[in-house]
Structure 1
Amino acid sequence: MNWTAITAIYKYEMARFFRTLTQSFISPVISTSLYFVVFGAAIGSRIEQVEGVSYGAFIVPGLIMLSIMTQGISNASFGIYFPKFIGTIYELLSAPVNFIEIVIGYVGAAATKSLFIGVVILATAGFFVDLEIQHPIAMIAFMVLTCTSFALFGFIIGIWAKNFEQLQLVPLLIVTPLVFLGGSFYSISMLPPFWQTVTLFNPVVYLISGFRWAFFGLADVPVGLSLVAIAGFTAVCLVAIWWIFKSGWRIRS
């Protein structure tokens, strides 16, 4: 394993992140505050509790998952797309670095960035609601796994994209709606039986449910299914990346 190459890629990507640290730090704080004003105050005044948890606290896991999913995808996709755009990807491919080391460097940096954003949002939420995390180790594990899996997904999108517009296509038109419809701001038990069944086909439901269980001990689906879902998603992304580098799809052409 060429740790020098991994470290070089990781440091380069993190340096780009820290150059815009103010924007990266302030943006999630403002967004989280607005969500609490709109959802916590406006809707929370009508829905005081959900399954024994105050509505303001109930939406915190959904807010964190929404941010780390979209941030993980955006950071990883831009990180690998930009070398393609300016042509430096060929220098990387011709260097004595295998695809595993390339993926670890880019995905590791993207996952670190999204994890940082998740921690910032969690800290910001503490100013608005009282949070008591029942399973802190499970909460950290879910955050790390989600950041990593969606960074892998973003890496695939960055290779697939042919222009900057396509980089935003999947996060905006697919991932964000799935998160909003996946129980981020409500429990699926509040839905009519038919829509509960339909919602279970949304893979994001399993991630948010498991993450919320780590906070409050409440889950819309069994925690085991949540772990299987995130493990399966990660495995699919790894296989896809292996095939991409093996075939050279959208990299060498």
Structure 2
Amino acid sequence: MNWPAVRAIYLFEMARAWRTLLQSLVAPVISTSLYFVVFGAAIGSRLTVVEGVPYGAFIVPGLIMLSLLTQSIANASFGIYFPRFSGTIYEILSAPISPVEIVIGYVGAAASKSIVLGLVILATAALFVPLRIEHPLWMALFLVLTAVTFSLFGFVIGLWADGFEKLQLVPLLIVTPLTFLGGSFYSIDMLPPVWRAISLLNPVVYLVSGFRWSFYGQGDVAVGVSLAMAFLFLLICLGLVTWMFRTGYRLKT
């Protein structure tokens, strides 16, 4: 393993985040705080408790997951797309560094930035509502697993996209709607049976449910199922990245 090369890619991507701190950290925290204030004030005044948890505290895991998914994809997709756009990707491909090391560098940096953002949002939410984390180790596991998985997904999008517009296509039209419909601001048990069954087809439901379980010890689906679905999506993303490097898809053209 060429760790100096991995470290160089990782530190370069992290340095880019510090140069754009307002966009990378401040803006998502403000946006999430606005979600919290609006939903907490508008809905929380009418729906005070959900499954024994105050509504303001109930939506915190969903808000963190919303930011984690979108920022992981954005960080990783832009990180690998820009070298392709500028042509510097050929310098990386011709260097004595393997595809595994390239992925670790880019995905590791994207996941690190998303995890930091998630922790900052968690600390910000604690200023608004009293929080409890019943299973902190499981919370950390879901946080890291989700950040790594969707950073890999963003890496795939960054290789697939042939324009800046496509970088926003999947997050805006697919991931964000699925997150809003995945129980981020409500429990799917509140839905009619038919709609609850349909919601179970949404993979984000399992991520939000598992993450919420780590906070309050209860979720919409069993925590084992949530964990299995998260690992399944991770394996799918790893398979896609492996195939792209083996075939040179959008890397050599």
CA shift at 1:37, angstroms? Answer: 1.7
Alignment-derived partner of residue 34 in structure 2: 34
Alignment-derived partner of residue 101 in structure 1: 101
CA shift at 1:63, angstroms? Answer: 0.2
Contact 1:32 1:125 survives alignment (8 Å): no
Alignment-derived partner of residue 187 in structure 1: 187
Alignment-derived partner of residue 24 in structure 1: 24
Residue 252 of structure 2 aligns with an amino acid whose one-letter code is R
Contact 1:32 1:124 survives alignment (8 Å): no
Give, in whole Å, the separation in 2 of the partners of 1:109 and 1:2: 16
- SS of the equivalent of 1:45 reads coil
Give, in whole Å, the separation in 1 of the partners of 2:110 and 2:63: 19
Give, in whole Å, the separation in 2 of the partners of 1:102 and 1:221: 36
Q: Percent identity?
A: 67
What is the correspondence of 1:16-95 to structure 2 with a 5 Å cutoff? 16-95=16-95
Give, in whole Å, the separation in 2 of the partners of 1:86 and 1:41: 45
Give, in whole Å, the separation in 1 of the partners of 2:7 and 2:182: 36
Residue 207 (str. 1) matches residue 188 (str. 2)? no
Deviations 1:58-104 (A, max 9, x none): 00000000001000000000000000001011111011100000000
RMSD: 0.7
> Which ranges of structure 2 fall in alignment gaps of 5 or more residues?
none
CA shift at 1:27, angstroms? Answer: 1.2
Give, in whole Å, the separation in 2 of the partners of 1:218 and 1:175: 24
Residue 151 of structure 1 aligns with an amino acid whose one-letter code is S
> Which ranges of structure 1 fall in alignment gaps of 5 or more residues?
none
Residue 3 of structure 2 aligns with an amino acid whose one-letter code is W
Alignment-derived partner of residue 168 in structure 2: 168
- Report the TM-score, using the length of structure 1 for normalisation: 0.99
What is the correspondence of 1:223-234 to structure 2 with a 5 Å cutoff? 223-234=223-234
Give, in whole Å, the separation in 1 of the partners of 2:86 and 2:23: 24
CA shift at 1:36, angstroms? Answer: 1.8
| Larger displacement relative to structure 2 (21-30 or 218-227) | 21-30
Give, in whole Å, the separation in 1 of the partners of 2:204 and 2:36: 21
